[in-house]
Amino acid sequence: MICENNTRVTEFVLLGFTNNPEMQVSLFVLFLLVYTDTLFGNFLIVSVTSVDPALHTPMYLFLRNLSLLEVCFTLVMVPKMLVDLVSPRKIISFVACGTQMYFFFFFGSSECFLLSMMAYDRFVAICNPLQYSVIMNRSLCWWMAIVSWMSGIPVSMLQTAWMMALPFCGPNTIDHFFCDGPPVLKLVTKDTTTYEMQALASTLLFIMFPFSLILVSYTRIITTILRMPSATGRQKAFSTCSSHLIVVSLFYGTASLTYLRPKSNQSPESKKLVSLSYTVITPMLNPIIYSLRNNEVKGAVKRTISRKVLQKLDLF
């Protein structure tokens, strides 16, 4: 379908959260603090897992990649969101909107697959500990990490190409704080049933498939843990995967509310809060979850800080 009289939309208006100037300033300060904490926490995880030899293991290789993904994921939405909160014109061009959507799908899909790789790592560590170092060798781990990153390319290309090829001939106001699929889809000026079926199919393939791998891995993990004769052994085994379970629950629990029901009856405000939770809040919480519940990470952070302090003292 071609728009009549060249009326195809060339830019979009992002409504964001509120039109109240005082509330916008408050939200700007709040989200800036959250974003700063997100960058600091994730870069700290990347730093300590790279520098500390005790953390040069498969689990922390995947954790390092997860933190890098979180940094990239938030970089797609949060800076633009912060600018819009203090800008009178909340405009994004058609091309920029498509670009933002592409990288949002890319990093989101990549994170889904990386979480499934992390689940497989915990499965091997708990269910086959004697063969762990042989199975999870350095070469395999790097290939798993690379595949996780690259897995986001097909779904992001397909979803973005399908979406941006649809006719946008009329309204251009997006009731959201970034170019997400469901709110942008509402602006299409023709029946979108076919696209919704395609989107649901790709969602089930690229999001629910890795989730099913996580479910299978943890079914086996829980079965193995329950068979352990020692309560101490069960507690230790569960503690090695509890952080990952929490992160998976936060990510999938909130994302599924949006993408498995793209045209649900939720209010726009509710959808914004759900999107905010997995685009802004969860990336901030992940480093906290892994550091607070992991003595190895806490020890590595202390050693890294101690080395930095000693290096500073040596300069005087």
CA dihedral 21, 93, 177, 80 (to 10 degrees): -70
What residue numbers bound the domain in which 51 lies?
Answer: 17-314
302 inside domain = yes
293-301 mean pLDDT: 69
**Where are the alpha helices (H) located in the chain, listed in sequence order?**
21-51, 58-85, 94-127, 132-135, 138-150, 152-165, 181-185, 193-203, 209-226, 231-259, 268-276, 282-292, 295-314
Q: What tokens were used for 286?
A: 């992940």
Place of tokens 């600091």: 40
In the chain, pLDDT over 90 holds for what percent of residues? 34
6 inside domain = no
pLDDT the model gives residue 194: 80
Chain centroid offset of residue 102 CA: 14
Handedness of CA 236, 238, 241, 242 (dihedral sign): negative
Lowest average pLDDT, out of 38-47, 161-170, 209-218, goes to: 161-170
pLDDT the model gives residue 310: 55
Lowest average pLDDT, out of 4-8, 192-196, 271-275, goes to: 4-8
107 inside domain = yes
More confident call, 264 vs 273:
273
Segment 71-81, tens digit of pLDDT: 999 999 999 99
Number of domains in the chain: 1
4 inside domain = no
11 inside domain = no
135-153 mean pLDDT: 93
DSSP for 252-277 reads: HHHHHHHHS-TT-S--HHHHHHHHHI
Whether 263 shows a pLDDT value over 60: the answer reads no
Place of tokens 């990490």: 145
9 inside domain = no
80-85 mean pLDDT: 92
Pairing of strands 173-174, 11-14: parallel
The whole-model pTM stands at 0.88
244 inside domain = yes
Whether 1 shows a pLDDT value over 60: the answer reads no
179 inside domain = yes
Confidence of residue 259 (pLDDT cuts 50, 70, 90): low
Confidence of residue 10 (pLDDT cuts 50, 70, 90): confident
Which residues, in sequence order, are bridge partners of residue 222? none
pLDDT the model gives residue 293: 61
Segment 54-67, tens digit of pLDDT: 788 898 899 999 99
Cβ-Cβ contacts under 8 Å for 69 (sequence gap 6 or more): 107, 110, 111, 114, 149
CATH at residue 253: 1.20.1070.10
